[in-house]
Structure 1
């Protein structure tokens, strides 16, 4: 009987340690995803072409990941439970990629980036409605930090230069909703599958098909981009679609959807660092301040309340049970 509280403390400590590791994994993946916009810009291709080829070139590495994970005895397959979820996730990621780039042309990269990060709100609502995941006070407190930080990083001085800025803003908000559905559905798919490789492979194929069909219908799909562009797209596929999203997906099996969404806002901050290193784009003081606010917002959103240790009363003193 006297050992029961101690065992509970050990279980809590183990759970907290696992949670910290998962948060480190998803933060690493989010920071890697910060390279996405830079590599896409360097490729110089249309949104449909970029989305299609980043998925196409990611399929072979993802097949290798699937084969490696298949050898693990703890992995299990329940296709009926996760395939549909992965396909839906991939379709919505394709919608997100296409609409976000269209929004950039209408309202600029700054405001588009800010509106896209409404995904934090949408994911939290989805988690509450579908999974009854509580919207924590920490997540609500972090949102002003996250949105102000993103606004400073993106540069809110960007003017609405498009022919129809209302449509552009609508595209960005719909893209944020689509991105939220992708994050949420991938979490469901990886939990149901018990692994990350297969759901990522299926969702990536669905994203590629969605982007390809859009490109064919609109005439914006280039099936033979220049070799230099293909080089950047291959790097984009490996860095973003394979490494970055596999890390995020592996953590999403256990973390609440709201924590995943808040951590992904780090993409905006890490893009500053990669831009400075790879493109010599030195960030301004305001942008650096925005990155600090984003980091603070993620820390606030993902913090775990300190568990209270069981106690016992000895005479008039309160002692912690060890």
Structure 2
């Protein structure tokens, strides 16, 4: 008697857990964004423009590598428009969020920005009919209270027109949600990650650069020290962080990706403590714990009522 067992194929739940780990890792890496931007000391439009401009070089190399490995033509693929729009919306998000910080402070603007979780869930339901799960609904109090505690609820309104600052932050949250949603669609349509990221990053650079030129806030000759931080920001955030998120978002619901990205607030707290000597308070640490708990709840895979089945696995026995 001989038994022949075909290679084990991961189940759907196992693949989702793996993708969630990738997204969470990417979100934690993205927590470095605010720290590296602060170290660069440049304006919002300058930071957004150069971080994307420098990222195009390694992304372009990855595009060439992926293209050699695949014979699939993608010049006229339907994902191009989605990637361009996604990049434009990310540029709007980056500029408006930093502008809102000047009016309402970093704490409140960060809290409002995380409305993207709700906006992404609504987009998924309206466009793709993705069900808004009970897990996501149950996680929202933990996520929003946690972000509020990390950001600092005592932050005062510093600008002359707080209503404008709040409006900017809400629009930035909506633009961020559209970016997350469209990049998921683009990477699924393209069947790869680097090329849609390259296109969207170029669109973000153009959007931020255009705003900077019109507003007079774009500095085309930042100092060498500032450029060093911007190069690091490009590699860490725009390349490594977003590539990890985009690679897994091909298969995950947009709402799960959005909820995981809230971890940026908690990881930024850790990186700020290590790199900027910004010691977090007990309240902020409690908020970080609530964010972590909220992400766990939001991305929890519901237990199946039926008996466990193995997807893609087949055993054949011959005598």
Q: For 1:309 and 1:287, locate their aligned partners in 2 and report how far apart those are by CA, in whole Å.
A: 41
Q: Which stretches in structure 1 are left out of the alignment for 5+ residues?
A: 1-6, 312-322
Does structure 2 retain, via aligned residues, the 8 Å contact 1:191–1:253?
yes
| Range with greater deviation from structure 2 (272-281 or 193-202) | 272-281
1:14 Cα deviation after fit: 1.2
TM-score (normalizing by structure 1): 0.91
Aligned length: 302
Q: Which residues in structure 2 correspond to 1:11-26 (within 5 Å)?
A: 14-26=11-23
Does structure 2 retain, via aligned residues, the 8 Å contact 1:76–1:194?
no
Q: For 2:183 and 2:306, locate their aligned partners in 1 and report how far apart those are by CA, in whole Å.
A: 35
TM-score (normalizing by structure 2): 0.92
Pick aligned residue for 1:214 from 195, 202, 211: 211
Q: Which residues in structure 2 correspond to 1:148-163 (within 5 Å)?
A: 148-163=145-160
1:276 Cα deviation after fit: 1.2
1:226 is aligned to 2:228: no
The one-character-per-residue Cα deviations of 1:232-283 (angstroms, maximum 9, x if unpaired) are 0000000000000000000110000000000000000000111111112111
Q: Which structure would you say has the larger RCO, counting Cα contacts within 8 Å and 6 or more residues apart?
A: 2
**3-state SS in 2 of match to 1:161:** coil
Q: Which residue is equivalent to 1:66? A: 63
Pick aligned residue for 2:276 from 265, 279, 293: 279
1:76 Cα deviation after fit: 5.7
Q: Which residues in structure 2 correspond to 1:7-46 (within 5 Å)?
A: 14-46=11-43
Does structure 2 retain, via aligned residues, the 8 Å contact 1:76–1:193?
no
Q: For 1:208 and 1:88, locate their aligned partners in 2 and report how far apart those are by CA, in whole Å.
A: 12
1:75 Cα deviation after fit: 6.0
Q: For 2:261 and 2:133, locate their aligned partners in 1 and report how far apart those are by CA, in whole Å.
A: 17
Q: Which residue is equivalent to 1:314? A: none
Q: Which residues in structure 2 correspond to 1:185-200 (within 5 Å)?
A: 185-200=182-197
Q: Which stretches in structure 2 are left out of the alignment for 5+ residues?
A: 1-5, 309-319
Go from structure 1 to structure 2 and tell me whether the alpha carbon gap of 1:125 and 1:211 turns closer, same or farther (over 3 Å shift): same
Q: For 1:80 and 1:149, locate their aligned partners in 2 and report how far apart those are by CA, in whole Å.
A: 41
1:308 Cα deviation after fit: 3.4
Q: Which residue is equivalent to 2:236? A: 239
Q: Which residue is equivalent to 2:161? A: 164
1:205 is aligned to 2:202: yes
Go from structure 1 to structure 2 and tell me whether the alpha carbon gap of 1:30 and 1:76 turns closer, same or farther (over 3 Å shift): farther
Q: For 1:261 and 1:303, locate their aligned partners in 2 and report how far apart those are by CA, in whole Å.
A: 14
Q: Which residue is equivalent to 2:312? A: none
Q: Which residue is equivalent to 1:316? A: none
**3-state SS in 1 of match to 2:279:** coil
1:74 Cα deviation after fit: 7.9
Does structure 1 retain, via aligned residues, the 8 Å contact 2:107–2:148?
yes
The one-character-per-residue Cα deviations of 1:118-151 (angstroms, maximum 9, x if unpaired) are 0000000000000000000000000000000000
**3-state SS in 2 of match to 1:71:** helix
**3-state SS in 2 of match to 1:134:** coil
Pick aligned residue for 2:109 from 99, 108, 112: 112
